[in-house]
Amino acid sequence: MASYSDGYWWSPDGLRLHYRDYAGPEDRPPLLCLPGLTRNARDFEPLAEKFAGQWRMICPDLRGRSESAYAKDAMSYVPITYLHDLERLLTDLALTRFVVVGTSLGGIIAMIMASTRPDRMAGAVLNDVGPQIEEAGLARIRGYVGSGSNHPTWVHAARALAEANADIYPGYKLDQWLAMAKRLFRLNSSGRVVLDYDMRIAEPLRVPGGETGVDLWPTLAGFRDVPTLIVRGGLSDLFSAATAERMRRDIGGETEIVTVPRVGHAPVLDEAEAVAGIGRLLERVLANG
């Protein structure tokens, strides 16, 4: 596993938040890796195995996830609040230029970020998400988020993931499900394997429009001068090929779409197609200086 250091920062409303910092060259913009709704900094371990050391990687736990504090107000579990938290992190680390890598919810945060300060983005990877979210995928997510589960062993957790997500990762073997379980779950004080997030993150999703809260199509203008890669799972029920293509047209330039076959929502970013696409994007970032 790639080595990293743990860092902490404080949100504007006083929560102690955590991030992983994978070291890399100081003369390159770091990768700011933003995870999905129920995910955390560990979600980028597969990406770190490919790129850490060559690039600095900063992987935050959003509020209510893993080593970051849980919010007092569940309605603060929304993209604009996450963005405010991250702005404080960027200030603390004095980061004025970075490549944003956003998976699902992380991509929504990246889009809002691009609409406010696109000049800071040296590049962008939007992983299986866009301004239009398909209702089938959203309904599936609403169906499981916030319904806690616990298991006696890691293997039990892995097998439960396999049963629930066989359509999303049909080619996965037990070792891959076990690795995913260790990114999604933690051991609690009783020795049970439990999901590693505040179950109350589901509450804003029950509010109409709570998945985004704003029309995100105008945010794509912020990527027009930014090398951008759109990654889509070929089996995704959340992010359609038509939405990906419209995004490519709207952003323009050399924006690339990479489709990861036989994977749903969302690619882990260790797939050959995703790794190659990210490699090409980072070459463009270097070429732009």
Q: Is residue 140 part of a domain?
A: no
Give the distance from CA 267 to its chain's centroid.
10
Q: Is residue 230 part of a domain?
A: yes
246-262 pLDDT per residue, tens: 999 999 999 999 999 99
279: in domain:
yes
Query: Using CA atoms, how far apart are residues 145 and 203, in angstroms rounded to an integer?
Result: 9
Domain that residue 74 falls in: 5-134+205-288
Distance CA 80, CA 222 (A): 17
pTM: 0.96
Has residue 180 been placed in a domain? Answer: no
Q: Note the pLDDT of residue 208.
A: 60
124 DSSP β-pair partners = 100, 228
State how many domains the chain has: 1
Q: What pairing do the DSSP bridges indicate for beta strands 98-103 and 31-34? A: parallel
Which residues of the chain fall short of a pLDDT of 50? 210
> Is residue 143 domain-resident?
no
CATH number of the domain at 222, please: 3.40.50.1820
Is 123 inside any structural domain? yes
The answer to the question of residue 31 being in a domain is yes
- Classify residue 234: in a domain, yes or no: yes
Q: Give the model's pLDDT for residue 210.
A: 47
